A and B are shown apart, each in its own frame.
Chain A
Amino acid sequence: MGMEPAYLLHQIGYRYPANKFVLDLERLEVPAGKIIALVGPNGAGKTTLLLLLGLLKKPTRGDLKFFHSDPWQSRELLYEKRKEVVLVTHHPYLFQGTVFENLVFGLRVRGIPEPEWKGRAEEALAMVELDGFEDQPVKGLSAGQSQRVALARAIIIRPRVLLLDEPTANIDASMVSRVESVISEVNAQLSTTVIFSTHNFSQAFRLADQVLYFLDGKQVKYSHENYFSGRAETDGAISWIEPKPGAKIFFPGRHQGHLTVVISPEKIEMFPASQKQTIPGPNIFSGRITRLEMAENNLALLRMSGELNFRLNRPLSELDKKGISLSSPVLVRFAPEAVELIRK
């Protein structure tokens, strides 16, 4: 295996009917047998890309090769190739019935002989630490357990490619490391190519051989709003970079040399500019709201342009309470601990 590409995408575009392109990729090569992380804010096109890689949506334009063949050239080939790749979605859907019935669905449609099912189900459940859950009805499972059943239902198939959309988003903190281990184990034991999306930078760097960044449907290199680069200086306990003169970003620890840092949009707080005197620092920046979009769950996606530009997500109710709207002057603040370092 080794150098063979699992996917080769060339000038791939995807758009939903009557919409602008949500994905627009010049070229993307995914080597087989590797772990790849897709990182980017909501709406960056990660999920759409996973649907394309899962052969569940056909690119609107461009050329997609899956292990050297074009899966969309005929129905027969498409159905055959789909059997080699599995996507576990963000909020996975479990079929009514028991955990076992869910696990063996992929085995049944592949015509794998029934006597093999039990052993493989046990093995898959053990990997996600749900031993003995075979006969449980899926109705009573917690969100985290459901997510792990969905993961087991995918790995039981032993696919060539495993696609995971935010695999640890709904999982208890105690189980995150187990799921991360599954990703590594599947990759190491079965040479499965694993591609997962995440908001968690440290997770991406910890697990993946390669991290790909996305913004607004395009692949980017460190150019998304909340990435900042600069030469780090330190006083021993705390370090900072100065991406623009006078605008310093502080983070804990002793760091030197050129660094790129990123601040997750969820970790940025916002205040009306009038409170400037009362908010303690560090990492306070002023600017104006230059973009405001509504997202699901009553969340507003905001962009502040000012000394530095930030993208942030706040609940709508908070905007109302603080009287903040488009073009309002605001302050943003984040804890030094919220700054994640990316080493080059």
Chain B
Amino acid sequence: MILLELIKTIWVSLKVSGSATLIASLLAVPLALFLAGNEFKGKRLILLINQTWMAAPTVVIGLLFYFLLSRSGPLGAFGILFSQTAMMIGQIILILPLIIGFAYSALRQVDQKARLTALTLGANPSQAGWMVIKEAKYALIIALLAGFARAVSEVGISMMLGGNIRGETRNITTAIALESSKGEFSDAVVLGILLLGITLGINLLVNSGLREKA
């Protein structure tokens, strides 16, 4: 494999999964904060659905969005099937419940007392909510890392919604699938090691950042 193509493949993985993680967190963390801080009817049902959704196979999500985004599908007019955007949407849907679940339990651990303390000291609800997020920041970062790891390592969605187009939507996992189907197992193994190396590097970076702050 040519070096330039390899770099592009890695870049697609990082860009798509990184953006998916960022967008999913922006949706998931406020939702988790709301769930952790409020008791209401139907909350248990929401949590149950979320937990079930966590186990959704990537190909099922891929298939669902394939139908939605294909030309004859209800969202076909956008014409985004086989694009990085489609992969990103699929990955957001994949990791959203995971981040909600982890963030919920992280925020739940600190929520009641931290929130109450901030409120009684005179904070308004948004200041108190921010305080709760700050108190849970380490656990929240772990939630985001878990979301990223799930996104960057999935193959079903990338394959079905991205289409594995060289230089466009080919990422590390779809490249691995392609190389193994061609019988180029040594290339597939190298790509696999590379993927692990990248996630290891990101984890090391975040952990050293956390340690410095602690």
Contacts and interface: CB of A to CB of B under 8 A. Distances in A.
A associates with B: yes
Given A17-B39, A95-B131, A79 B124 contact: yes
Contact of A157 (B114, B117, B122): B122
B120 interface: yes
B122 A82 contact: yes
B68 to A, nearest CB: 39
Contact of B120 (A17, A54, A96): A54
A237 interface: no
Contact of A95 (B114, B122, B127): B114
Contacts of B113: 89, 91, 93
A105 B118 contact: yes
A93 B124 contact: no
Interface in B108-127: 113-114, 116-124, 127
Contact of B135 (A17, A96, A106, A154): A96
Contact of B116 (A85, A89, A154): A89
Contacts of B127: 109
A109 B39 CA distance: 26
A157 B114 CA distance: 18
A92 interface: yes
Contacts of A87: 120
Interface string A75-99: 0000100110111010111011000
A258 interface: no
Contacts of A56: 116, 119-120
A46 interface: no
Given A17-B39, A95-B135, A106 B117 contact: no
A82 B39 CA distance: 22
B110 to A, nearest CB: 8
Interface residues of B, number: 16
Contacts of A79: 124
Residue of B118, B124, B134 ringed by the most chain A CB atoms within 10 A? B124
Nearest to A79: B124
B120 A82 contact: yes
B114 A82 contact: no
Contacts of B121: 86, 105-106, 109, 153-154, 157
Given A93-B113, A93-B114, A95-B131, A83 B122 contact: yes
A152 to B, nearest CB: 12
A83 B123 CA distance: 8
Interface string B144-177: 0000000000000000000000000000000000
A328 to B, nearest CB: 38
Interface string A94-112: 0110000000011001100
A92 B114 CA distance: 9
A17 B44 CA distance: 15
A153 B123 CA distance: 13
A89 B117 contact: yes
A85, A92, A93, A106 — most chain B CB neighbours (10 Å): A93
Contacts of B120: 54, 56, 82, 85-87
Interface of A: 17, 54, 56, 79, 82-83, 85-87, 89, 91-93, 95-96, 105-106, 109-110, 153-154, 157
Instruction: List the 6 shortest-distance A-B pairs measured between CB atoms, nearest first.
Output: A93-B113, A106-B121, A83-B122, A87-B120, A93-B117, A109-B122
Interface of B: 39, 113-114, 116-124, 127, 131, 134-135
12 contacts: A17-B39, A56-B119, A82-B120, A86-B120, A86-B121, A89-B117, A95-B114, A95-B131, A105-B131, A106-B121, A109-B118, A109-B124
Given A105-B123, A110-B122, 14 more contacts: A17-B39, A54-B120, A56-B119, A86-B122, A87-B120, A89-B113, A89-B117, A92-B117, A93-B113, A93-B116, A106-B121, A109-B127, A154-B121, A157-B122
